[in-house]
Amino acid sequence: MIERRKFGKTGLEVSVLGFGGAEIGYEGAPQSDVEALLNEALDAGLNVIDTAECYPDSEEKIGRAVSHRRKDYYLFTKCGHFDGRTPDWSRSSLLASIERSLKRLRTDYVDLVQLHSCGLEVLQAGEVIEALEEARQRGYTRFIGYSGDGQAALYAVECGRFDTLQISINVADQEALDLVLPKAHERQIGVIAKRPVANAAWRYGDQPPAEPYHTIYWERLRKLDYPFTKLPLGEAVAVALRFTLSQPGVHTAIVGTKKPGRWVENARALADGPLPPEMIEAIRQRWREVAGPDWVGQT
Ligand SMILES: NC(=O)c1ccc[n+]([C@@H]2O[C@H](COP(=O)([O-])OP(=O)(O)OC[C@H]3O[C@@H](n4cnc5c(N)ncnc54)[C@H](OP(=O)(O)O)[C@@H]3O)[C@@H](O)[C@H]2O)c1
């Protein structure tokens, strides 16, 4: 059975391997694949499903695939990103977005609503946090969180109003390990590692990825040139995932996939437990040597 960790102060116990719902939306996974991959993963111990209002069709697909067994998983969504549209961070717009998410997900509550990567100034202005607090009061969500990186993530941890943080942590994105994670750990914030295998972007070799979203990690990984990326792909992904989950204060890693069988494959790879300390240190040391000042957390 997959390991579960206490999710900060929430009282939830989350599977260390979660499910990231961006890919099934952006990459147009067929409904039958989503049904197969989510149901087999839930049967094998998955209990964290993460999605967002703006991932095309992701919420609808998840709702159709697994709402009949709603008690088997914690459901996390996000609000306020408005991909490709004008950002609207007003209270009324966020609450309307959450109500829409509940309909799409075919449920009357989610376990977590996260602000989807608004900037520091928007956070500091406070209206977005009040909107989430109101959503919690209305019973739309049990907990509230921030999803994003850098100084905004640090503010979210320090302001004391969020239960959870979702942040990029992986072999090609280590800013959070020094800047944010120790403080989140100290304050018992539930931490979700997003992009936890760095999109496996080393797999593209010398060819730049067709997907621009993967380009920055691909460029970084070429410079980092970690020896483990020469391993067969499945083994290398396992090293990357174990690195992320070995960081103190990380509770769940939401690997994105549109492939039936992938969650079970990755869960099996975690049976070896945390990476040996010398491997973790080698990856940390290489990052310190190579990372430039502009290698900041990627949303
Ligand atoms: N701002 C935000 O809030 C934000 C931003 C980014 C992401 N997120 C969240 O984080 C989740 C994860 O991020 P992500 O999907 O960008 O990055 P990721 O989990 O690091 O990478 C996913 C990629 O890795 C591949 N992969 C996974 N396991 C593999 C294996 N064993 N062998 C080969 N390839 C493997 C997947 O391909 P296959 O499809 O073939 O499995 C997919 O292309 C998202 O789904 C979303 O929920 C949130």
Centre of ligand 1 from the C-alpha of residue 184, in Å: 23
pTM of the shown model: 0.98
pLDDT in tens, 3-30: 999 999 999 999 999 999 999 999 999 9
170 CB neighbour count, 10 Å cutoff: 25
Q: Residue 282 domain-assigned? A: no
pLDDT in tens, 196-209: 999 999 999 999 99
Q: Is residue 265 part of a domain?
A: yes
pLDDT digits (tens, 9 = 90+) for 68-83: 999 999 999 999 976 5
Residue 104 within a domain: yes
| DSSP states of 94-143 | HHHHHHHHHHHTT-S-EEEEEEES--HHHHHH-HHHHHHHHHHHTTSEEE
- With a 6 Å cutoff on the Cβ, whether 201 touches ligand 1 is no
Residues 39-55 have pLDDT tens digits of: 999 999 999 999 999 99
Any atom of ligand 1 within 6 Å of the Cβ of 81 = no
Identify the CATH number of the domain in which residue 87 sits.
3.20.20.100
- Triad 151, 155, 159: Cα angle to 5°: 175
pLDDT given for residue 45 in this prediction: 98
Structural domain tally of the chain?
A: 1
> Quick one: pLDDT at residue 81?
74
Q: Does 76 fall in a domain? A: yes
- Which pair of structure tokens corresponds to residue 188? 């018992």
Dist. CA 19 → ligand 1 center (Å): 9
**What contacts 68, CB < 8 A, 6 or more positions away?**
none
pLDDT digits (tens, 9 = 90+) for 120-161: 999 999 999 999 999 999 999 999 999 999 999 999 999 999
Q: Is the CB of 150 under 6 A from ligand 1?
A: no
Determine the number of helices (DSSP H) and then strands (DSSP E) in the chain: 13, 10
Q: Do the domain assignments include residue 268?
A: yes
pLDDT confidence of residue 83:
58
- Nearest Cα residue to atom 34 of ligand 1: 200
230: in domain: no
Return the closest-CA partner of residue 1 out of 49, 46, 66.
Answer: 46
Residue nearest to atom 14 of ligand 1 (CA): 195
Identify the DSSP state of 172: T
In a domain, 40, yes or no: yes
Domain range for residue 193? Answer: 4-198+250-273
**Closest protein CA for atom 11 of ligand 1:** 20
CA of 18 relative to ligand 1 center, distance in Å? 11
For the Cβ of 250 lying below 6 angstroms from any atom of ligand 1, the answer is no
Residue 292 lies in a domain: no
Whether 233 lines ligand 1, by a CB cut-off of 6 Å, is yes
